[in-house]
């Protein structure tokens, strides 16, 4: 459309009738078939995908005028810090809260992540990600919580590196985009690798470093094909590539140690 | 029969997880206690992640002291906080920072490698430790990690994706368990518990949109109130001065922006005047130049006056002086000068978490241009009543931790004290006290007759069946919006008795209309519509508690500002408001109890001058 030639009146009437068209992939039960629905709502500036889902929930009337049911989805903080509302939006995995309608091509296609079991509609079960944190013992092992003073001094650059990995909100974008990761088997994936490296870099966490590296090796660390999709989709810009190469280096050192019999 | 003791924790944010962690530490040797955590979301996604700016603890380096922290907190809260627990909290705060440091929280560092501090509102000392601008997230993750290690040891069981519905009380009124619903299978189930710690956070959803997360629906505390738990100081709702709008929620722009030197301003207009605290007419800045109105009016604290004051000043500038940005209801929060003077990387190290939220949601870069902000409902100073030593509610065996209690923040909470109060309560009070209670019960909960549990279950089942059948003309989401709008309009920054009364009338109408709603999904699988309706039912009740508590308090104190009664009135209202549910009228009964003033004598709040701790 050549906007330069449209009159002010035309533009105005176009704004009046402007709508937002979106399609949602529904699945009412894990054992039922998935299907698509289309909705259209009046345009409003600055909406995000959560606001669209709220409108759908308020008034679940499709473009074909059939009344449907409110779509089920997970969401909590709505400011991209809790990791709940990860979905695939126009083919890209991301948080629905920070996906702004004004920046998306319509009709907007909203579907659940494909790598995790669907609970209902856009709601998926990501419990596997939390299980993986158990496998790698993603915590600093403290003797006790008694008041015995501060931890070790840490230089600002080391802190910044740790903070970067520590911002992982277990949202699953990296796993959804990874060609190697699946919820059933094999490769543990970038999320857990980065967390293992976070604790392996901490003076207290280090005491379990070998164990974490072993857990990574037992869970397909070497399967990573270096596609680097994970880093590209991570909403918090975690240094996942750095974590994976660090993990590989630690694994090599551990193998060498075993090979030469030094324990 | 096994002798295992069970402690149920409702909510897996900072309050709940710190209590869980402490109980596990205390019982690690014997392993005779199991902690069950019930949470709407995986605990790592709890609302605590939204806390941005930091956590307070007196810092010797800056000449600060726990006593000064204590005095600032009580003074900031306009003397309505109970002083003994506040004092204990401020004394424990430095140890709490040390513990989080050992747990691995990546606090920002000084060049020597020590934990850095910044200033926060209502304080003249830099006492706030922080991890970028996502401190709550980082503290929560540290606790989540520790609790996960106990989970692996079998000491913790998580029920993530379950919603607590009500407590099971035995014939003597003592707790023996709870009823919860699985959000996926919709299964209703009773759980045996020798003690319960309620750590469900605030009730922000009562206001429709706020800075709170979707999980902050207030159902648990409202349901307990319906079961006879007293609710205290409900009227004290904090409206945070700096947030950004959105159709789905209002997003916080942390006070730490001002702690790092951010300035609040609008374009000046010397033809307009305001009255300063001494009654003098002063011009509203210079026309054509930024007017830094907080710095102008409060030279001692500047942009870091407490939140209630900053919020009212922004409200005045926008609505009374009509000086909002381009005539719209916004003022500027500016950090761009910091980026210019010290570089973008410096600014990112301190504030990246919020600057990226602003840029992602508003589309402009706060490194370059000032942010447009406005106040938003943020925090509840009030909450379930509990005693000030064990934090047990008036329902024996039920304890509180975190935002859902009422002890620490009086009429106005200081920034970066909420993370502290959550953790302090869990670690030092309700965690250990719930354990003590559970261990010292005359009759373990599992020996209570099953009929007691069946009765409680049946009651919830009947209620849910009634809700599921609702097929009327009203839309539950629209009712929620109506409630949120009327609450935001009338029970936030400025409160008038006429409109408070009208609000209560409106809420009662909404309660009636509630029974004419449709629950649009009748399925028995992952039915979010049913859960939503249930939450709305309890939110309406809690909204009335807040409104009527506000109506009855004829004074201005902290966040509660009534122009009809512009002064603080210690003689009549230096008292804690108590709301008790009356099943006959389905309304709250309001009464009062004394505030603990044992340590600091109340004095007038005046933030134009530095506050000096009067020891």
- What's the burial of B203, exposed, middle or buried (CB within 10 Å: 0-12/13-18/19+)? buried
Question: Span B388-410, mean pLDDT?
Answer: 98
Which phi and psi (to 5°) does residue B111 adopt? -65, -25
Question: Span B374-386, mean pLDDT?
Answer: 98
Average pLDDT across chain B, whole number: 96
DSSP symbol at B348: H
Is B431's pLDDT higher than 60?
yes
pLDDT band at A8 (very low <50, low <70, confident <90, very high): very low
Give the whole-angstrom CA distance, residue B391 versus residue B408.
11
Please, what's the b/e burial string for B348-358 (b: 16 or more CB within 10 A of its CB; e: otherwise)?
A: bbbbbbbbbbb
Give the whole-angstrom CA distance, residue B239 versus residue B50.
16
Q: What is the 3-state secondary structure (H, E, C) of B271-298?
A: EEEEECCCCCEEEECCCCCEECHHHHHC
Of B109, B213, B523, the CB nearest to A76: B213
In angstroms, the Cα distances linking A11 to A4, A46, B506 are 10, 19, 41
The predicted pLDDT at position B2 comes to 56
pLDDT band at A7 (very low <50, low <70, confident <90, very high): very low
Question: Span B26-45, mean pLDDT?
Answer: 97
Contact A57 B477 (CB under 8 A): yes
Q: Comparing A254 with B613, which gets the higher pLDDT? A: A254
The predicted pLDDT at position B615 comes to 55
Give the whole-angstrom CA distance, residue A175 versus residue A68.
31
Helix residue ranges per DSSP H, A136-239: 156-166, 173-177, 190-200, 209-218, 229-233
Q: Among the listed ranges A100-109, A186-195, A253-262, B478-487, which one has the minimum average pLDDT value?
A: A253-262
């345009």: which residue's tokens?
A43
Tell me, rounded to whole angstroms, the distance of Cα A193 from its chain centroid.
15
CA distance B361 to chain A (A): 7
Q: What is the pLDDT of residues B193-210, one digit of tens each?
A: 999 999 999 999 999 999
Q: How many percent of chain A have pLDDT more than 90?
A: 89
The predicted pLDDT at position B63 comes to 87
- What's the burial of B509, exposed, middle or buried (CB within 10 Å: 0-12/13-18/19+)? exposed
Give the whole-angstrom CA distance, residue A259 versus residue B285.
75
Tell me, rounded to whole angstroms, the distance of Cα B226 from its chain centroid.
21
Tell me, rounded to whole angstroms, the distance of Cα A242 from its chain centroid.
18
Judge whether A62 is closer than 8 Å to chain B, CB to CB. no
Is B22's pLDDT higher than 80?
yes
The predicted pLDDT at position B101 comes to 98
With beta carbons less than 8 A apart as the criterion, state whether B73 and B424 touch: no
Instruction: Tell me the count of A-B CB pairs closer than 8 A.
Output: 190
Contact A130 B523 (CB under 8 A): no
Helix or strand or coil: residue B169?
Answer: strand
Is B92's pLDDT higher than 50?
yes
With beta carbons less than 8 A apart as the criterion, state whether A213 and A250 touch: yes
Question: Looking at beta carbons, which residues of chain A come within 8 Å of B101?
Answer: 150-151
Judge whether B98 is closer than 8 Å to chain A, CB to CB. yes
Question: Span B104-129, mean pLDDT?
Answer: 96
Give the whole-angstrom CA distance, residue A55 versus residue A51.
6
Q: What is the pLDDT of residues B583-597, one digit of tens each?
A: 999 999 999 999 999
Q: What is the pLDDT of residues A171-190, one digit of tens each?
A: 999 999 999 999 877 899 99
The crossing angle, in degrees rounded to 10, of helices B66-76 and B83-103 is 120
Q: Report the phi/psi class of residue A74: left, alpha or beta, with left for phi > 0 and alpha for psi in -120 to 50.
A: beta
Give the whole-angstrom CA distance, residue A69 versus residue B519.
10
The predicted pLDDT at position A16 comes to 54
Is A1's pLDDT higher than 60?
no
Q: Which value does ipTM take for this structure?
A: 0.96
Give the whole-angstrom CA distance, residue B540 versus residue B507.
7
Question: Looking at beta carbons, which residues of chain A come within 8 Å of B250?
Answer: none
Ranges assigned E (strand) in chain A: 19-26, 35-42, 86-89, 92-95, 108-111, 118-120, 123-124
pLDDT band at A262 (very low <50, low <70, confident <90, very high): low
- Taking a contact as any Cβ pair under 8 Å apart, which residues of chain A between 106 and 165 contact chain B? 119-120, 123, 126-127, 130, 133-134, 137-142, 144-145, 147-151, 153-156, 159-160, 162-163
Mutate to test the interface with A, among B102, B359, B432, B523 (most CBs of A within 10 A): B102
Contact A28 B247 (CB under 8 A): no
The predicted pLDDT at position B614 comes to 61
Q: What is the pLDDT of residues A138-173, one digit of tens each?
A: 999 999 999 999 999 999 999 999 999 999 999 999
Of B115, B248, B252, the CB nearest to A50: B248
Interacting residues of B554 by C-beta distance below 8 A, sequence separation 6+: B497, B562, B564, B565, B569, B572, B573
Interacting residues of B183 by C-beta distance below 8 A, sequence separation 6+: B40, B161, B162, B163, B526, B528, B531
- Taking a contact as any Cβ pair under 8 Å apart, which residues of chain B between 123 and 182 contact chain A? 131-132, 134, 137-138, 141, 145-146, 148-149, 151-152, 160
Q: Cβ of B84: how many Cβ atoms within 10 Å? A: 14
pTM greater than 0.90: yes
Give the whole-angstrom CA distance, residue A137 versus residue A204.
13
- Taking a contact as any Cβ pair under 8 Å apart, which residues of chain A between 206 and 245 contact chain B? none
Q: Among the listed ranges B39-48, B273-282, B445-454, B478-487, which one has the minimum average pLDDT value?
A: B273-282
Q: How many percent of chain B have pLDDT more than 70?
A: 99
């Amino acid at each position: 459309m050549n906007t330069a030639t449209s009159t002010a009146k035309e533009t105005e009437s176009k704004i009046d009738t402007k709508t937002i068209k979106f399609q949602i992939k529904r699945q009412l039960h894990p054992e039922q078939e998935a299907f698509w629905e289309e909705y259209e709502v009046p345009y409003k500036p600055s909406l995000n995908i959560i606001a669209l889902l709220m409108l759908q929930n308020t008034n679940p009337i499709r473009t074909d005028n059939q009344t449907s049911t409110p779509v089920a989805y997970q969401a909590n903080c709505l400011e991209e810090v809790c990791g709940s509302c990860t979905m695939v939006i126009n083919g890209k995995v991301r948080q629905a809260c920070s996906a702004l309608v004004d920046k998306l091509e319509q009709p907007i296609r909203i579907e659940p992540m494909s790598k995790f079991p669907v609970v209902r509609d856009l709601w998926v079960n990501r419990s596997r990600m939390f299980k993986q944190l158990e496998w790698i013992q993603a915590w600093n092992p403290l003797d006790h919580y008694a008041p015995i003073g501060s931890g070790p001094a840490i230089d600002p650059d080391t802190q910044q590196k740790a903070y970067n990995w520590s911002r992982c909100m277990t949202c699953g974008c990296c796993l959804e985009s990874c060609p190697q990761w699946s919820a059933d088997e094999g490769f543990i994936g970038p999320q857990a690798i980065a967390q293992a490296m976070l604790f392996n870099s901490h003076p207290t966490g280090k005491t379990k470093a070998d164990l974490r590296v072993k857990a990574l090796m037992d869970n397909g660390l070497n399967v990573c094909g270096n596609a680097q999709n994970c880093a590209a989709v991570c909403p918090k810009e975690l240094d996942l590539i750095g974590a994976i190469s660090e993990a590989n280096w630690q694994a090599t050192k551990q193998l060498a140690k075993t090979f030469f019999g030094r324990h | 029969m096994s002798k295992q003791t069970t402690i149920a924790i409702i909510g897996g944010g900072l309050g709940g997880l710190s209590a869980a962690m402490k109980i596990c530490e205390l019982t690690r040797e014997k392993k005779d206690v199991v902690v069950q955590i019930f949470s709407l979301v995986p605990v790592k996604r709890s609302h605590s992640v939204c806390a941005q700016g930091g956590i307070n603890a007196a810092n010797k380096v800056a000449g600060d002291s726990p006593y000064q922290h204590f005095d600032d907190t009580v003074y900031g809260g306009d003397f309505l906080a109970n002083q003994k627990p506040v004092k204990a909290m401020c004394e424990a705060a430095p140890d709490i920072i040390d513990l989080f440091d050992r747990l691995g929280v990546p606090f920002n560092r000084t060049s020597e490698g020590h934990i850095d501090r910044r200033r926060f509102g209502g304080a003249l000392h830099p006492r706030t430790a922080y991890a970028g601008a996502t401190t709550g997230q980082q503290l929560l993750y540290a606790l989540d990690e520790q609790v996960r290690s106990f989970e692996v040891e079998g000491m913790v069981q998580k029920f993530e994706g379950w919603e607590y519905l009500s407590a099971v009380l035995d014939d003597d009124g003592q707790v023996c368990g709870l009823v919860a619903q699985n959000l996926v299978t919709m299964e209703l189930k009773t759980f045996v518990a020798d003690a319960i710690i309620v750590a469900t956070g605030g009730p922000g959803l009562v206001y429709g949109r706020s800075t709170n997360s979707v999980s902050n629906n207030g159902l648990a505390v409202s349901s307990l109130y319906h079961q006879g738990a007293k609710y205290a100081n409900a009227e004290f709702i904090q409206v945070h001065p700096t947030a950004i709008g959105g159709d789905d929620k209002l997003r916080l722009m942390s006070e730490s922006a001002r702690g790092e030197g951010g300035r609040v301003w609008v374009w000046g207009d010397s033809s307009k005047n305001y009255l300063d605290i001494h009654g003098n007419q002063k011009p509203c800045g210079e026309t054509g130049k930024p007017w830094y109105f907080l710095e102008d009016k409060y030279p001692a604290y500047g942009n870091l006056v407490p939140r209630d004051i900053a919020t009212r000043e922004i409200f005045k500038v926008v609505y009374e002086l009509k000086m909002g940005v381009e005539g719209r209801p916004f003022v500027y929060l500016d950090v761009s000068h910091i980026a210019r003077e010290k570089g973008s990387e410096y600014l990112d190290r301190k504030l990246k978490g919020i600057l990226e939220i602003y840029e992602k949601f508003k589309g402009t870069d706060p490194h370059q241009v000032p942010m447009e902000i406005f106040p938003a409902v943020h925090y509840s100073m009030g909450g379930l009543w509990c005693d000030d030593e064990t934090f047990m509610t008036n329902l024996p065996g039920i304890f509180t931790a975190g935002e859902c209690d009422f002890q620490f923040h009086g009429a106005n909470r200081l920034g970066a004290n909420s993370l502290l109060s959550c953790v302090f309560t869990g670690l030092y009070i309700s965690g250990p006290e719930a354990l003590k209670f559970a261990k010292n019960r005359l009759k373990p909960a599992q020996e209570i007759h099953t009929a007691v549990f069946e009765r409680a279950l049946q009651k919830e089942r009947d209620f849910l069946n009634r809700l599921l059948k609702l097929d009327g003309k009203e839309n539950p989401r629209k009712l929620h919006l109506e409630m949120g709008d009327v609450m935001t309009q009338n029970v936030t920054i400025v409160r008038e008795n006429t409109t408070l009364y009208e609000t209560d009338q409106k809420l009662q109408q909404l309660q009636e209309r509630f029974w004419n709603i449709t629950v649009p999904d009748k399925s028995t699988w992952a039915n979010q519509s049913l859960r939503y309706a249930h939450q709305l039912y309890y939110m309406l009740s809690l909204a009335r508690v807040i409104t009527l508590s506000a109506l009855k308090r004829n004074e201005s104190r902290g966040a509660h500002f009534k122009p009809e009664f512009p002064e603080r009135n210690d003689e009549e209202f230096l008292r804690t408001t108590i709301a008790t549910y009356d099943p006959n009228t389905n309304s709250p009964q309001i009464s009062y109890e004394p505030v603990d003033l044992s340590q600091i004598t109340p004095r007038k709040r005046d933030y134009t001058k530095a506050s000096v701790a009067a020891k």
